[in-house]
Amino acid sequence: MGIQDDAAEIRASGWRTLAALHGLIDSALEKALQAEYRLSVVEYTVLEALSRQDGWHMRMQQLARAAALSSSATTRLVSRLEERGLLGRYLCADDRRGIYTELTPQGRELLRVARPLHDATLEATLTGAADVPELAPLVRALHDLEPAPASPAGA
Amino acid sequence: MGIQDDAAEIRASGWRTLAALHGLIDSALEKALQAEYRLSVVEYTVLEALSRQDGWHMRMQQLARAAALSSSATTRLVSRLEERGLLGRYLCADDRRGIYTELTPQGRELLRVARPLHDATLEATLTGAADVPELAPLVRALHDLEPAPASPAGA
DNA sequence: CAGAACTATTTGCACAAGCAGATATGCCGC
DNA sequence: GCGGCATATCTGCTTGTGCAAATAGTTCTG
């Protein structure tokens, strides 16, 4: 049984490291984007996901998966961004249950100006994490990953 | 400028992968622990962090760092667990601002029975993620990490 | 020792998230 | 075309979170 325990402890330890690094990056991005552009990380993620779509539009549920949110949370998130004029909703003709969201010019513009801060914060946080002994190996591993396709979670 | 953009896109892509895997594991653990033991992932994390401490006690702020929570969230989390009899609060003699929390026997018992489900869920989720092309490399990288010391975030 | 500056914890408040249920639409067999 | 079932989105409600301010205790300075 010792062998099983060891394997479980290795996984648990890896999970703790993953969670720690995730939390570090997430809160750094959250603070930076919130302070400068009044955007949460999920909101940025949604804008960014939309910008990577051909035609810049997506259905609510695709969005929910891309942002790892429930559909109710997605509804409200889209409503918030819509009220700020960053994206628009419109019915889709072929399936009238579905609703497409589309980036407005203002949404694209906000993303354009926010992206440098996002990227710089990400870089700075990763650099900082590389100096923390417990996180460094994971940071290196991340760096060595092959660039993943557009939507890791959207499959 | 193309080179910088590439580097930024590699980091962004790694971050998306990290977030996706984190979300996957987190929600799987959340559902499993919540359904069986009425414990959230953070609550489990706190119990587990306490169990790894010599003497099973920690100050609120250590706990806050270990769980990556604000101090107010920590206060309420500890209150919830205290009401369920899983841990106790007591003043610490040398610094009377500080409050120690300590696992009760019931807390240790709950952790003992919950840990197998936690570990099994973690294993199952990682195994599942290894079949998702975008996540597989990160899963492998995690597995190859050297076992990190007790508290990756607590430093 | 008095007062200022700092640290630890708790409370008031506002907000975003999930679940369950409601509503509308699509699809299938008959 | 009609009931029955699945899918997409939205709404009501509860809960957990962070920020800012309040409170209590420590430490440093003169």
Which amino acid is it at A49?
Answer: A
B152 pLDDT band (50/70/90 cuts)? very low
- Closest chain A residue to B126, measured at CA: A11
Contact A68 B153 (CB under 8 A): no
CB atoms within 10 A of CB A144: 11
State how far residue A108 is from chain B, nearest Cα, in angstroms.
Answer: 18
A154 pLDDT band (50/70/90 cuts)? very low
pLDDT of residue B87: 96
Question: With respect to CATH, is domain B23-138 assigned 3.20.190.10?
Answer: no
Contact B148 A24 (CB under 8 A): no
When CB atoms are compared, the residue of B123, B146, B152 closest to A16 is: B152
Contact B147 A18 (CB under 8 A): no
Contact B22 A18 (CB under 8 A): yes
Residue length, chain B?
155
Task: Decide if pLDDT at B117 tops 80.
Answer: yes
CATH numeric code, A17-141: 1.10.10.10
B1 pLDDT band (50/70/90 cuts)? low
pLDDT of residue B92: 86
Report if CB A65 to strand D is under 7 Å. Answer: no
Question: Which residues are bridge partners to A102 per DSSP?
Answer: A57, A88
Domain ranges of chain B: 23-138
Note the strand D nucleotides within 7 A of protein beta carbons: 7-12, 16-21, 24-27
Q: Concatenated DSSP letters for chain A? A: -HHHHHHHHHHHHHHHHHHHHHHHHHHHHHHHHHHHHS--HHHHHHHHHHHTSGGGEEEHHHHHHHHT--HHHHHHHHHHHHHTTSEEEEE-SS-TT-EEEEE-HHHHHHHHHHHHHHHHHHHHHHHHHTTSTTTHHHHHHHHHSPPP-S-SS--
Q: Using one digit for the tens of pLDDT, what is the confidence trace for A79-112?
A: 999 999 999 999 988 899 999 999 999 999 999 9
Mutate to test the interface with B, among A1, A6, A21, A22 (most CBs of B within 10 A): A22
Measured distance CA(A153)–CA(A131) in Å, rounded? 29
State how far residue A139 is from chain B, nearest Cα, in angstroms.
Answer: 10
pLDDT of residue B155: 36
User: Mean pLDDT highest for which of A44-58, A89-103, B71-85, B89-103?
Assistant: B71-85
pLDDT of residue A25: 97
Nucleotide nearest to A98 (CA to C1'): D8
Q: Which one-letter DSSP state was computed for residue B68?
A: T
